[in-house]
Amino acid sequence: MIGLNIEKTFGFIAKEKVASYEADVKAAQEALENGTGKGNDFLGWLHLPSSISRELLDDLKATAQTLRENCEAVVVAGIGGSYLGARAVIEALSNSFAWLQEKKNGPVILFAGHNIGEDYLYELTEYLKGKKFGIINISKSGTTTETALAFRLLREQCERQCGKDMARKVIVAITDAKKGAARVTADKEGYKSFIIPDNVGGRFSVLTPVGLLPIAVAGFDIDKLVAGAVAMEKACGMDVPFAENPAALYAATRNELYRNGKKIEILVNFNPKLHYVSEWWKQLYGESEGKEHKGIFPAAVDFSTDLHSMGQWIQEGERTIYETVISVEKVNHSLTVPADAENLDGLNFLAGKHVDEVNKMAELGTQLAHVDGGVPNMRITIPALNEESIGGLLYFFEKACGISGYLLGVNPFNQPGVEAYKKNMFALLNKPGYEEESKAIRARL
């Protein structure tokens, strides 16, 4: 189960102030439960863990098995909420060197549709040449340019390399039930497809087929992932008292820090496998709260790596930051530091210690140093990097995000700001229907 420790924020904000959020948090939770707050048509994620049907989970596992049996590689095409959740979980649970190993336990999972890099896409298509590969095309709107462009390239290559019949077997669409180009193509071509519920926005969709299918294809246990999320749904429920509810406490503490000038939250990990969990978290909080000229800026670092780059800034730069550390209690493997007769590196004081013991002392030492340097610190503890813990962590952040957005007074479930760049890009590319915008934007160049 996830633990949250906020003690090391209390030198910067008052404990009583955090406690005083209880009524507002309760109101935010009621608004979520009763659907009376802003963005209430996007609350499908709230009880998603406990309402996923066995039928859907079995269908996802069977589809994943088909892809695992028929593919050497599977490309997951998607961007934003249709990309980061799957990547976060897969990277957190995978062997860091799996893709280099000769004997693979299932297809290599690759990602596309989250950038428009010509070199990236060229190199991907080169890698896939002559390989049996499948595609999971994920787009709720079914019209996202980055994803559609990658899918067009990949689908053509897949059909050319393995024929239309096999392509039909290894291309899966995850999209809206009725609308969008991805739905039209899936229905016309007879691809296996899964639906993204209308009331679940992209960044809250990791526990729908959007996240679950790629995670299952990567060989991870989606039943356990969902079970971890269900446990957290209970632990963060409305009936759990404020002081014992981690989502409530996290939401309240970060809002109090923000009101006290801490405008930047840095999510910290001491395990490189969590890098993409931070990327997912950045989208969740950035897109949910950054509006109406308000919102904490979500940043992230990987320690120790970034202690040797961003560590200086965090220790002594502008005091507008606080840190939230994700601490993993137990490692999955055991490795001890060997003794060395010559001890030229002076490390014999560590001989016989587990590498994780050194890491944990780096973690503790960093926490104390940063607090001394004026950086409030919260600590989220998860038992281990496994499906249950990660499922729980994702749901915890989602629930806290909903509460936190309401405390901030914004609609945490829309993202009007992401349309501006699209309009300009379409105008610059002379997309039909954008003639007026094209003229106007060219006049500005």
Would you name the residues annotated as active-site residues? 287, 308, 422
What is the distance between the alpha carbons of residues 41 and 253, in angstroms, rounded to a whole number? 27
33-72 footprint of ligand PA5 as x/- string (CB under 6 A): ----------------------------------------
Match 């995850």 to its residue by tokens. Answer: 174
Least distance from ligand PA5 to the Cβ atom of residue 13, Å: 30
Could you tell me which stretch among 101-109, 133-141, 229-237, 437-445 binds ligand PA5 (CB under 6 A)? 133-141
Least distance from ligand PA5 to the Cβ atom of residue 190, Å: 22
Nearer to ligand PA5, 132 or 291 (CB): 291
How many Cα atoms are found within 13 Å in the side-chain-facing hemisphere of 300? 19
**CA torsion through residues 227, 283, 217, 54, sign:** positive
Q: Is 144 in the site for ligand PA5 (CB under 6 A)?
A: yes
Please compute Rg for the chain using Cα positions: 23
- Report which DSSP code applies to 40: G
Could you tell me which stretch among 9-17, 33-41, 195-203, 377-385 binds ligand PA5 (CB under 6 A)? 195-203
Q: Which of 39, 80, 214, 376 binds ligand PA5 (CB under 6 A)?
A: 80
Nearer to ligand PA5, 21 or 42 (CB): 42
Least distance from ligand PA5 to the Cβ atom of residue 149, Å: 12
Q: Is 79 in the site for ligand PA5 (CB under 6 A)?
A: yes
Least distance from ligand PA5 to the Cβ atom of residue 397, Å: 14
Give the H/E segment covering residue 53: none
What is the distance between the alpha carbons of residues 284 and 81, in angstroms, rounded to a whole number? 8
198-227 footprint of ligand PA5 as x/- string (CB under 6 A): ---xxx------------------------
Phi then psi for residue 114, to 5 deg, are: -105, 10
Least distance from ligand PA5 to the Cβ atom of residue 422, Å: 9
**Residues whose CB falls within 8 Å of the CB of residue 18, separated by 6 or more in sequence, listed in order:** 6, 9, 249, 252, 253, 256
Could you tell me which stretch among 75-83, 102-110, 115-123, 365-373 binds ligand PA5 (CB under 6 A)? 75-83
**Residues whose CB falls within 8 Å of the CB of residue 313, separated by 6 or more in sequence, listed in order:** none
Q: Which of 9, 29, 63, 139 binds ligand PA5 (CB under 6 A)?
A: 139
Nearer to ligand PA5, 70 or 141 (CB): 141
Indicate the residue whose CB is closest to ligand PA5. Answer: 202
Q: Is 415 in the site for ligand PA5 (CB under 6 A)?
A: yes
What is the distance between the alpha carbons of residues 410 and 435, in angstroms, rounded to a whole number? 34
Q: How buried is residue 121: exposed, middle or buried, by Cβ count under 10 Å (0-12/13-18/19+)?
A: middle
**CA torsion through residues 183, 186, 187, 189, sign:** positive
SS3 at position 280: helix
Residue 135 forms beta bridges with which residues? 75, 171
- β-strand 73-77 against 108-112: which pairing, if any? parallel
273-312 footprint of ligand PA5 as x/- string (CB under 6 A): --------------x-------------------------
Least distance from ligand PA5 to the Cβ atom of residue 395, Å: 17
- Please check whether residue 266 is in contact with residue 314, taking contact to mean a CB–CB distance below 8 angstroms: yes
SS3 at position 347: coil
Nearer to ligand PA5, 144 or 157 (CB): 144
Nearer to ligand PA5, 176 or 356 (CB): 176
What is the amino acid identity at position 119? Answer: D
CA proximity to 288, closest of 165, 369, 202 = 202
Could you tell me which stretch among 50-58, 135-143, 303-311, 348-356 binds ligand PA5 (CB under 6 A)? 135-143
Least distance from ligand PA5 to the Cβ atom of residue 426, Å: 15
Q: Which residues bind ligand PA5 (CB under 6 A)?
A: 79-82, 139-141, 144, 147, 201-203, 287, 415
